[in-house]
Structure 1
Amino acid sequence: MFFHLHQLFPDLTIAGDKVSLLCSTYLSASLSAVHNTSLKHLGFIGSHIGPLALAVVFYETIEKNTIESSKYLDIIDQYHSLLIQEDSNEVLYGRAGYIYALIFIRKYCKDNEEIMSKIGDKKLKEIIKLIIKDGRDGAKKMTVENLKTVNDKITKPALMWSWHNAEYIGAIHGVAGIIATILQCGELAHPYLDELLQTTEWLAELVQSNKNYPARIQSTHDDLIQFCHGAPGILVSFLKIYSLYPTHTSSKNILSNAIAKTDLVWECGILKKGVTGLCHNTLGNAYAFLLTYLITRDEVQLRRALAFGLYGGEWEVKTHKNEERVSDHPWSLFEGLGGGIIYWSDLMFILKNVKQLGVNSESVAQGKVIGFPCFTDL
């Protein structure tokens, strides 16, 4: 959170402390926890990899301490062999989350030849190849019974992954998130582009009668409208895929599908399970509007983003009145106030720079890492 604030507002102080100092303080605490706990997963969000990757970037770009940045990169490198045995490919805990960590480091440390040599194309290619192999194998295992019928024809995706023995399709645990992450690897994803985009188009056809997506294939529940499961996360994934390949033949359909789902998020996206978190709280859903605005420049989407942001600002009153549940981990990034602060900072930056200064929204966003945190903000 503090690193993100530093990227947007480098001179910002909180209670007299620069955000860079606060970033250092909280990062040190996180790294202490890493040293004192065992590794259970390999994703950027749900494991040791996140704090370690942030340490590499923080010490390289803010502290200018190449010794420290190299030290933490070496620790990450020790985990690379575990990816071969890993059976999860999703964003939260699996290989896609590890890919995000590597491209996060590559983005901010691209001028450091030593760092770039340690996490070169070869490592990323190896991980992508493993994910694609599992995706192809998963698609082959799909039976007629669990395929979606569209226009009286049985369709089949080129790729399919499972998590906990179920084919999840959303951003955090499923197909949409895996594809969006791989495509952020640029040219390294090109050998698999047709398969990835064909699967994206197939995914777009899974919309249910209520205009939402199920959490997983054959699920009887289609009422989850949140980032981790349902339309908001798939929408954000589609927006990222479109932004990476805007001229591809499938891109127009992918974008129109994403935009169409913003109405559903507007109507049903205020959640009672919490306000400020990103994963399954209201402000996570708000990114659907903010990121759609950055691509379409549609004022309606910006007003919706602002309305959800203002609603989120009342989180304390609403939880005290029991109108909203306290978030699962109320001070955390993905399930608490930390995520809300990032959303509000992104919204404030866009309002200030796009609305007041009249600059191009896309160029501003790309220069200042506006995107869904730990997912499409590269």
Structure 2
Amino acid sequence: MWRWHGKRYLGGAHGVAGILQIILHAPPALLYPHTAAISSTLAYLVSLQDRTGNWPSKAPARHDDQDRENDLVQWCHGAPGILPLLATALALSEPQPQPDPQPASSSHLPAPALSLPPALRPALLSALAHGAALVSARGLLRKGPGLCHGAAGNACALFCASDALGRAGAGHRAAAASAMAGGVRLLLRCVELRGTPAFGRPDRPWSLYEGEAGLCAVLAEAVERVGSVLDGAGAGAVREYGSGLVGYCDLVRV
């Protein structure tokens, strides 16, 4: 368990989810020796999800109340920082596309980059759907439009969840569509409320992770996603550039 200022944070900015998200961008050969540790860490994170679908900002002590609700719903602390990690782990556990594709057969499918225990994959999907529903409902923050603790970052988390759920089969299509719609809805409300007293002014209002630059990046992705749906390609159609939180989810395409 990693620590920051003596605390065992869980979220995207300072915690386990952010660190493991970057580790999962390593080549599969480097990940393989650590598969058991990665899987156990993912299972531990899933076990900490509360009944609302959120996560605490830091790992609870043994005597802490496990049933208490957690208020922060933002990338740095809470579900929006953990959903992209779950989506990345699920994507890496699927057969990976090959540079020179050969005719696929049931006995010659490309190996996944990350081998997860059979029971973990459905647990990740369930946690992903539950967390996405929470972010859709509570993701419009008053702290500004940015990626770190704003509506843009929360929309990114929903887009990641939508992609992973959409690849998981017919039983998850409704949750995938709901996550996609939730992300677009957050962005529309964010644009409507820009410059009004409903939003606080970030310390760095034009920056990537706090301000308008991050919002612009996510709006560009949303435009392409909505365009894919309108063109009939589907919400999960392959895009020309990496998706997700800039510098966090888009280092490699999964």
TM-score (norm 2): 0.78
Shift of 1:317: 3.6
1:294 is matched with: 163
Count matched residues: 213
CA deviation vs aligned residue, 1:339-358 (integer Å, no higher than 9, x gap): 00000000001111x21333
Do residues 370 (structure 1) and 243 (structure 2) align? yes
- The separation in 1 between residues aligned to 2:130 and 2:162, in whole angstroms, is 13
Shift of 1:168: 0.6
Do residues 306 (structure 1) and 184 (structure 2) align? yes
- The separation in 2 between residues aligned to 1:336 and 1:165, in whole angstroms, is 29
1:119 is matched with: none
Equivalent of residue 244 in structure 1, options 73, 92, 99: 92
2:150 is matched with: 281
CA deviation vs aligned residue, 1:226-271 (integer Å, no higher than 9, x gap): 0110111111211111111137322221122111111111221111
Shift of 1:363: 5.2
Alpha carbons of 1:210 and 1:256: their partners in 2 closer, same or farther (altered >3 Å)?
Answer: closer
Amino acid in the other structure paired with 2:231: L
| Contact 1:225 1:231 (C-alpha < 8 Å) held by counterparts | yes
Amino acid in the other structure paired with 2:3: S
- The separation in 1 between residues aligned to 2:52 and 2:161, in whole angstroms, is 21
Alpha carbons of 1:254 and 1:186: their partners in 2 closer, same or farther (altered >3 Å)?
Answer: farther
| Contact 1:281 1:327 (C-alpha < 8 Å) held by counterparts | no
| Contact 1:232 1:265 (C-alpha < 8 Å) held by counterparts | yes
Greater Rg by CA = 1
CA deviation vs aligned residue, 1:126-182 (integer Å, no higher than 9, x gap): xxxxxxxxxxxxxxxxxxxxxxxxxxxxxxxxxx11111111111111111111211
2:9 is matched with: 168
Do residues 205 (structure 1) and 53 (structure 2) align? no
- The separation in 2 between residues aligned to 1:374 and 1:269, in whole angstroms, is 21
- The separation in 2 between residues aligned to 1:203 and 1:195, in whole angstroms, is 12
Equivalent of residue 346 in structure 1, options 221, 232, 241: 221
1:358 is matched with: 232
Alpha carbons of 1:207 and 1:299: their partners in 2 closer, same or farther (altered >3 Å)?
Answer: closer
- The separation in 1 between residues aligned to 2:142 and 2:53, in whole angstroms, is 20
Amino acid in the other structure paired with 2:233: V
Shift of 1:311: 0.9
Amino acid in the other structure paired with 2:245: F
Where in structure 2 are the equivalents of 1:1-378 lying within 5 Å?
160-187=1-28, 188-218=30-60, 222-246=70-94, 248=116, 249=118, 250-274=120-144, 276-297=145-166, 298-318=176-196, 322-352=197-227, 354-359=228-233, 361-362=235-236, 364-365=238-239, 367-377=240-250, 378=252
| Contact 2:136 2:179 (C-alpha < 8 Å) held by counterparts | no
TM-score (norm 1): 0.53
Shift of 1:374: 0.7
Shift of 1:359: 2.8
Shift of 1:209: 4.3
Between 1 and 2, higher relative CO (CA 8 Å, sep ≥ 6) is seen in: 2
| Contact 1:184 1:244 (C-alpha < 8 Å) held by counterparts | no
- Structure 2: give runs of 5+ residues left out of the alignment: 95-114, 167-175
Q: CA RMSD in A?
A: 1.9
CA deviation vs aligned residue, 1:11-40 (integer Å, no higher than 9, x gap): xxxxxxxxxxxxxxxxxxxxxxxxxxxxxx
Shift of 1:331: 0.1
Aligned to 1:223, what secondary structure does the other structure show? coil
Alpha carbons of 1:161 and 1:327: their partners in 2 closer, same or farther (altered >3 Å)?
Answer: same
- The separation in 1 between residues aligned to 2:194 and 2:136, in whole angstroms, is 22
Shift of 1:362: 4.3
- The separation in 2 between residues aligned to 1:212 and 1:328, in whole angstroms, is 26
Shift of 1:360: 5.7
